[in-house]
Each structure stands twice: as C-alpha cells, then as structure tokens.
Amino acid sequence: MPLPDSITQLIAELNRLPGIGPRSAERIALHLVLSEVAAARQLSEAILSARERIRLCALCGALTEESRCDICTDARRDASLVCVVEQPVDIFSIEKSGTFRGKYHVLGGKISPLDGVEPDDLRIADLEKRLESEPIKEIVVALGTDVEGDATGFYLAKRLARPGLRITRIAHGLPAGTGLEFADELTLSRALEGRRDME
C-alpha cells in the first residue's frame, strides 16, 4: 500500500534538506505525523519565524535579526582585524574555537568559473568599501582548502593589496579539500594562530 500523498510530499521536502537522505526523511516524516499536532505546529512555526527574522548583516554578511550583527556592533572586538570567510556558518566555526577577537567578512562563496561564480558575484566590493571606512590593518583569509578556496585567496590578496594592509591566510593543517565547517576547534584555533603573510 503506498503512503498517503501528504506524507509522500513531506518526505520529499525533508529529503531536499542538506544531510537528510531518503531513509532519514522517511523516519522524520513518520515521526512528525504521529506526534502531537501542537509539537508539529511548534516546529513549523519555528522554521517560519527563523526564516522571516533572519537576514544578512549589512556590513559583514553574518546571519542576524538586526541590520548589523552582534559582532559588528561589539566595540570590544578588534576592528583592525577582519577575517574573510566563505559562508555565514564559517563564523560560528571560528567563534567556537574562541581564538579570534577581530571582525568578519562573508564573501558568500568562492570564485569558481566552472560553476559560473565570478568575483563580481561575491561580496568583494563591499570589503573594499570597508577598507576605506574602517581602521582595518590586517585581513585574515580563512577559506576552504580546495582549489577554488586557494584561487579565491590569491585573487583577494592581489586585489586588496594596498600600503599599510597586511593580508594573511590561516595556516594549513585543515583537512585538504574541505571547508571550515569540518574542522575541529583545536585545528581551527591553531590554523588561525599560525597564519602567515600571503605573497
């Protein structure tokens, strides 16, 4: 007997989420339809409320409910140091390591001609604007360790180069070919401490 349409549809929606395969989607869907209506409603409202309230920080691109995020508005953070990451989630990874006390800038991806991502598709011009208006002395490039991450790092180092600005990259030691989200806190913390100047 096939599953009722509404369950099949729920499974299909869940299956579209990252990290949830067909088996998990099925298990979660069956759990949900057998749970209390109130619990299901609470979950759907939490999803909707988060989606409606969360936006990108106008300055750094982090996830926030305000126009500027908590890190950008925190006067105790070192405004002379800006760490460049690919995605908002990378900020959480670095914050968990507890090593970095500067600010951030989210690129929104990495240069990848094969996927049609050009420099203009990333928030690089926004970063250049910040260099003009903020007391930034060092840019720490913390991108993934794959080919696109490396290429993007070198592109940034060249385009952002200007007198008085140090451009560093986090030390290798991150698993090859991966993003920051897969690195453990100690590895990230060491990678940040061991950062070096880019050519």
Applying CB under 5 A, which residues contact Zn ion?
A: 57, 59-60, 62, 69, 72
Task: Calculate helix-pair angle for 185-193, 88-97, nearest 10 degrees.
Answer: 90
Beta carbon nearer to Zn ion, 104 or 149: 104
Three-state secondary-structure class, residue 124? helix
Residues 6+ apart with CB under 8 A from 160: 127, 128, 131, 139, 167
Q: How far is the CB of 72 from Zn ion (least distance, A)?
A: 3
Q: How far is the CB of 69 from Zn ion (least distance, A)?
A: 3
Beta carbon nearer to Zn ion, 10 or 141: 141
Beta carbon nearer to Zn ion, 138 or 150: 138
Q: How far is the CB of 161 from Zn ion (least distance, A)?
A: 24
Beta carbon nearer to Zn ion, 85 or 143: 85
Q: How far is the CB of 96 from Zn ion (least distance, A)?
A: 17
CA distances from 113 to 43, 100, 120 (A): 39, 31, 12
